Every structure is written in structure tokens, then in C-alpha cells.
Amino acid sequence: MTVQTLPEFPVKKGEPAYKVWIFEPGWKGEIPLNFNLRQLAEQKRPVLLPGHRLCAGCTAPLVVKLASFALRGPTIFVNATGCLEVASTIFPYTSWAAPWIHVAFENAAAVAGGVESAIKALKKTGRLPYDHVDVIVFAGDGGTFDIGFQALSGMAERGHDVLYILYDNEAYMNTGIQRSGGTPQFASTTTSPAGEVIPGKTQAKKPIADIMVAHRIPYVATATPAHWMDFMKKVRRGLEVNGPAFIHALSDCNRGWRHETDISVEIMRRAVDTCYFPLWEWTPEQGYMLTDRSLAIARNPALKQPIEKYIEVQGRFRHLLKPENKELLKQFQEYVDKVWEDLLRRASNAPK
């Protein structure tokens, strides 16, 4: 394997320190032909540098790294409190090769709104040394579905030019796996344990991406780092629209989902294959559009896997596989099918 060469610091005055994006400014959507994931890992430098302290098998860093490969120029990152924040910036160290700010758990969207407004004001008075600076938020499901939802909704309503990337590991993993508004039904967490009477979380997952669609912002998408090219393209589209964009990325947590560290990406692939987490994007002009694997499943329903394929590898759903819980498993399958069929009805590129 060739050695990765990192750009030397400090870089030239006025130039961003992390000139790493694969799609050069002005990229119009065509994918370079001679391009694969290995080349990407070896030749490009993500904004999240090695040495962070996220768990082995965590996909949050994949979300950040893949997103950073799709940058189009100088970018400021805003992070909500969570695993990603505490593990990547333990003072006096930082893994971020980009300007980065964390303020609190629930206000990442509001902080990003402030940063974006400052950029506008500085530009208006000729004090911004760049043509444009992008603002990207990374926040977990707790800081997005629950406590941070008000700030997110406010930011979307006011139309700040911010890309908000939710990495959804489906529980409060940073504090020790407590249920959140993003935890799926029947999942066992430390505050919704699968007990003798109540089998895990009783409520369904909040449809956050659909809620963001209802805000009529310019761009909403779902993604997983397992479908990496799809994800990077969506990030780039999210940056290029003029106004708020929201990407809901599923992000595995092997500690909370209870599985070995080497199958994280495989599990996210299965989430899409079982239609538990369909891949789509939404724009006000085109409406819902299925992408990548989900589009393939829509065209060929035989590719759709039963939900067992997704849950059988995760300890948090272990109780569903017991014979006495057959009924619950059926309920889960029905719920997934219903959501998927609903999406097929709405998606403009799904075969009718």
C-alpha cells in the first residue's frame, strides 16, 4: 500500500488548509471514471484526521470523512455535543483540519445560522477573504430528533445556507445507549430495555427526514456511508443548493447496536436492502427520488430482503427472534413495508 502523503502545514496564506475535495469547484455531477474507494482513502485527506478516539467500528468518522471528500471550498464545521465531538477534540488535541466549533447539545443549527450570517455580513462589507464559505453541521440523533429540533426547525424556516448532516445511531450513545426519538420500535436500550413485560421501545422512530421535507427546504436526502458514492454526491448537492439542506445518514454504533466491530458497514447495507432505511432525495422541483440501492429494489422487488436480515446481526433486537415474540417481528415487518410502500407511491422515479 502506498503511503498517504499529507499536505504540509502551514499552507499558503489565504488558502484553506484542507484542499482535499475530490470534486473540484464547478463540479457538475459527473463521476471521475478512474475512481474507487481505495484511491480515495490513499490519495485524499479528509478533514477528520487520524488519532481521534471514536470506537473501533464506529461509522460517525466515515460520515465525516466521506462528507469532507465532497467539499467544494473553504468550509466551517459546527458540531453538536455527542460522541463525535467528545472523541475528536479532547484538549489539547483536535482531529479537525478545518475550522470547527462546538457550543452545546441542542443548538448546533442556531450556531451554524450565526456563522452563516457572519459570513454574509463580512462578505457584504468586503472583509471575507474568500468568495464563499460553506457551513456544515454534524449532529447526532439526540441533538436533532429531540432536544435540538427546535433550533433545526428554526434554522430551516429562516433559510440559512447551511448543510445539516445528521448521523443517526438511533439512541443517546454518548451517555450510554438511552432511547431517543430516533430509536426504532422494539429496540432495546438502557432506558427502554427489553423486559419481561415491555419488549424494548414501544414507540416508532420519528420520521425526521420527512419532517424536514415538510419544511420545504431546497434539499433533503437520506444516506449511509455504506453507499459512499451516493452519500458524497448528496453532500455535494446539499452544499450547492442555495439555502438549508438536510441529510439523514444512518450511522452504526456497535456498542449500542450490540454487534462485532467489523460488520458496521455490512449492517448499514442490510438496512437499505431490507428497506428499513430507504435511500432517497427530495427537492421541491422533483419531489421524492429513490437513489442507489433503493432504486434498484424498487425496479426489482425480488431484491428486497426480509427485516430479519437486518435485525439478526444486532443484539438490540435479539429478543425479537425468540419464538414467543413472533408477533412483534411480524409487526415490525409490516411497519417497514408500509413505510416503504408509502415511499414508492411518492417517489417520482419509482416504477408504477
Partner 1 sequence: MEKTVFKPKIPIEKQVLTTANGDEAVAYAVKQSYVDVVAAYPITPQTIIVEKYSEFVNDGLVHTEFIPVESEHSAMSACVGAAAAGARAFTATSSQGLALMVEIVYIASALRLPIVMAVVNRALSAPINIHNDHSDAYLMRDSGWIQLFVENVQETYDTTIQAFKIAEDPRVQLPVAVNLDGFFLSHTLENFYMLPDDTVYEFLGGPRKLVNVKVDYFSEEVPLVLNPARPLTFGSLDLYDYYFEHKVQQVEAMKNVPPVVREINEEWYKLTGRRYGDGVVDAYGVEDADIVIVAMGSGAGTIRSVVKKLREKGEKIGLLKIRMFRPFPYSDIAEILSGAKIVAVMDKAIGPGSFGALYEDIAVSLYDLDERPLLLDYIYGLGGRDLPPSLVYRMIEEVKKDLESKSVERKIRYLGVRE
Among the listed residues 44, 55, 72, 130, the single contact to partner 1 using CB under 8 A:
130
Residue with smaller CB distance to partner 1, 158 or 346? 158
Q: Calculate helix-pair angle for 228-240, 60-69, nearest 10 degrees.
A: 60
Number of residues that bind partner 1 (CB under 8 A): 57
Minimum CB separation of residue 45 from partner 1 in Å reads: 13
Residue 14 binds partner 1 (CB under 8 A): yes
What span, in angstroms and rounded, lies between the C-alpha atoms of 21 and 69?
5
Cell digits of residue 54: 471514536
Residue 181 binds partner 1 (CB under 8 A): no
Q: Which region, judged by CB under 8 A, interacts with partner 1, from 62-70, 81-89, 223-231, 233-241?
A: 81-89
Minimum CB separation of residue 64 from partner 1 in Å reads: 14
Is the distance from CB of 259 to CB of 233 less than 8 angstroms? no
The CA distances from residue 199 to 175, 187, 266, 325, in Å, are 22, 8, 26, 9
Cell digits of residue 111: 450556531
Residue 6 binds partner 1 (CB under 8 A): no
Is the distance from CB of 305 to CB of 340 less than 8 angstroms? no
Cell digits of residue 309: 436480515
Minimum CB separation of residue 133 from partner 1 in Å reads: 6
Tell whether the torsion through CA atoms of 25, 47, 211 and 272 is positive or negative. Answer: positive
Among the listed residues 5, 125, 302, 324, the single contact to partner 1 using CB under 8 A:
125
Q: Which region, judged by CB under 8 A, interacts with partner 1, from 55-63, 104-112, 210-218, 328-336?
A: 104-112
> Closest by alpha carbon to 222, among 134, 329, 295?
295
Among the listed residues 63, 115, 208, 289, the single contact to partner 1 using CB under 8 A:
115
Residue with smaller CB distance to partner 1, 15 or 262? 15
* Buried residues in 106-123 as b, exposed as e (16+ CB within 10 A): bbbbbbbbbbbeebeeee
Residue 11 binds partner 1 (CB under 8 A): yes
Helix or strand run (H / E) with residue 248:
strand 245-250
Beta pairing class for 219-223 and 280-283? antiparallel
Residue 111 binds partner 1 (CB under 8 A): yes
Residue 102 binds partner 1 (CB under 8 A): yes
Site string for partner 1, 137-176 (x = CB under 8 A): -------------xx-xx--xx------------------
Radius of gyration of the chain (CA): 20
Beta strand segments in 100-230, E: 100-102, 134-140, 163-168, 219-223
Among the listed residues 40, 55, 118, 211, the single contact to partner 1 using CB under 8 A:
118
Q: Which of residues 37-56 bind partner 1 (CB under 8 A)?
A: none
Minimum CB separation of residue 170 from partner 1 in Å reads: 23
What span, in angstroms and rounded, lies between the C-alpha atoms of 257 and 226?
17
List interacting residues with partner 1 (CB under 8 A). 9-11, 13-18, 74-76, 78, 85-86, 89-92, 94, 96-104, 106-107, 109-122, 124-125, 127, 129-130, 133, 150-151, 153-154, 157-158
